[in-house]
Amino acid sequence: MKTVGIICECNPFHAGHGYLIAQAKASGADAVIALMSGCFVQRGEAAISDPFSRAEIMLLGGADAVLELPFPYCAGSAEFFGGAGVEIFDRLGIDELWFGSECGDLARLERLSAALDDPAFWERYAKSAEGNEGTAAAFFSCLQEFCGDVHPCLSNDILAISYLRALRQRGSRIKPVTVKRVGSAYRADSVEQKTKFPSATALRRLWRAEDLEAVLPYLPNGAREILSPCVKKKTAPADLKNAEALILGHFRLTSRERLESIAELSGGLGNRLAEISGRADSLESLLKLAETKKYPAARLQRGILFALTGITREDLKTSPAYVRLLAANERGCEFIGGCRKTAALPIVTRRADLPETDGARRQAEWAERAYALYSLCTPKIGSCEELWRQNPVIWRGE
């Protein structure tokens, strides 16, 4: 069985995801396995609907099995998000890793990722990041300096670079394949009229501003039956701002020393958020007052998530101890069955399946914190236990 892995957020699923899956299957893939962010995503935002509803929509879109990219890796910067995703697929024995990129040029991306292995690159970056241009701009200017010929939309290729670096560092046998992005620009914040490929950012904004019906034309057939119950139960659309009282209270009451130990909040950023939280009256104003070129919104939101859940940088450096199955069709179940016999990473479907190891207990504790926080991000406060109790979505006879 030739297996293709896709690391994604599906927040929500859009035509770009469908295009990537279709291209993978057209290449001869027997099974497409998605590794999808759970309750929170890489920019530190709450996923717009729960992991199981999004995973089932991935099945509608052509995936054969959907696994959860565990917290906190799913909300980490590209280094940790991409590194954990590659490690999980490598330990599961996936044959190929497919990903979208703006440039669509694997050789160029390989060359750029190789620059990150040079200690001189990071020394130069550390000096540049101390200036006023911001960390992202410093990163890309250093790549330009070390490699030249940097694609003008390279910021959208940063995950591709992180995947390639992680594959190389692990000496992985997984073959990387990139597909040039199609449709609206990555993170475009509005749905262009008549576009077939709106960005996930635009779809989230449209759903929150209007309603589910407004985004259904851009989702796979059958999405209404999956998402309408979520809207009715008030578990979607989720938004981190629904927990803004908790966020402001946490930063007003937590010691500066404790915040300094949190991932993304070292170097005085935790202290900055604590000080600003005393005069901010909403999450939006907290972010607006704290954001600078050095501290963009995505880093601030990741730091907020990690502060609320107690995640340190050392936590992010640990290896995943297990991966959870969210959804699968019959072909996906065949893949999962094979993995359970041969893979170097346990696949679990419920809490009772967790391995009896310190790493698994630690990862389960992080998952519980993430589920608890997510239950406060939904339109109506939910149960902390509901996401642990939910069984995978299994399609038979498809």
Write the CB contacts of 18 (distance below 8 Å, at least 6 apart in sequence).
61, 62, 220
For 234-380, list the strands marked E by DSSP.
Answer: 323-328, 347-348
How many helices (H) and strands (E) would you count in the chain? Answer: 19, 8
Tokens of 195: 């576009």
What does the alpha-carbon distance between residue 327 and residue 250 come to, in Å, rounded to a whole number? 35
pLDDT of residue 149: 66
According to DSSP, residue 242 is labeled: G
pLDDT of residue 89: 98
Q: What single string gives the DSSP state of each residue in 120-163? A: HHHHHHHHHHTSSS-HHHHHHHHHHHHH----TTGGGGHHHHHH
pLDDT of residue 133: 63
What does the alpha-carbon distance between residue 140 and residue 159 come to, in Å, rounded to a whole number? 13
What does the alpha-carbon distance between residue 272 and residue 293 come to, in Å, rounded to a whole number? 14
Residues paired with residue 262 on neighbouring β-strands, in sequence order: 312
* Torsional sign, CA 314, 317, 322, 328: positive
H/E stretch holding 34 reads strand 31-37
CA proximity to 374, closest of 167, 88, 15, 68: 68
CA proximity to 58, closest of 31, 84, 80, 94: 31
- pLDDT (tens digit, 0 to 9) for every residue of the chain, 398 residues total? 899 999 999 999 999 999 999 999 999 999 999 999 999 999 999 999 999 999 999 999 999 999 999 999 999 999 999 999 999 999 999 999 999 998 899 998 999 999 999 999 989 888 887 765 667 778 888 888 888 766 555 656 889 999 999 999 999 999 999 999 875 554 555 565 555 678 899 999 999 999 999 999 999 999 999 999 999 999 999 999 999 999 999 999 999 999 999 999 998 999 999 999 999 999 999 999 999 988 999 999 999 999 999 999 999 999 999 999 999 999 999 999 999 999 999 999 989 999 999 999 999 999 999 999 999 999 999 998 999 999 999 998 65
Contact indicator for 29, 96 with CB cutoff of 8 Å:
yes
H/E stretch holding 81 reads helix 78-92
Report the length, in residues, of the chain: 398
What does the alpha-carbon distance between residue 329 and residue 334 come to, in Å, rounded to a whole number? 9
SS3 100: strand
What does the alpha-carbon distance between residue 254 and residue 209 come to, in Å, rounded to a whole number? 33
What does the alpha-carbon distance between residue 271 and residue 260 come to, in Å, rounded to a whole number? 7
What does the alpha-carbon distance between residue 15 and residue 19 come to, in Å, rounded to a whole number? 6
pLDDT of residue 107: 92
H/E stretch holding 176 reads strand 175-180
CA proximity to 204, closest of 14, 376, 71: 14
What does the alpha-carbon distance between residue 205 and residue 48 come to, in Å, rounded to a whole number? 10
Contact indicator for 290, 272 with CB cutoff of 8 Å:
yes
Determine the distance from the C-alpha atom of residue 186 to the mean position of all C-alpha atoms in its chain, rounded to a whole number: 14
Burial of residue 48 (CB within 10 Å: 0-12, 13-18, 19+) is buried
pLDDT of residue 294: 85
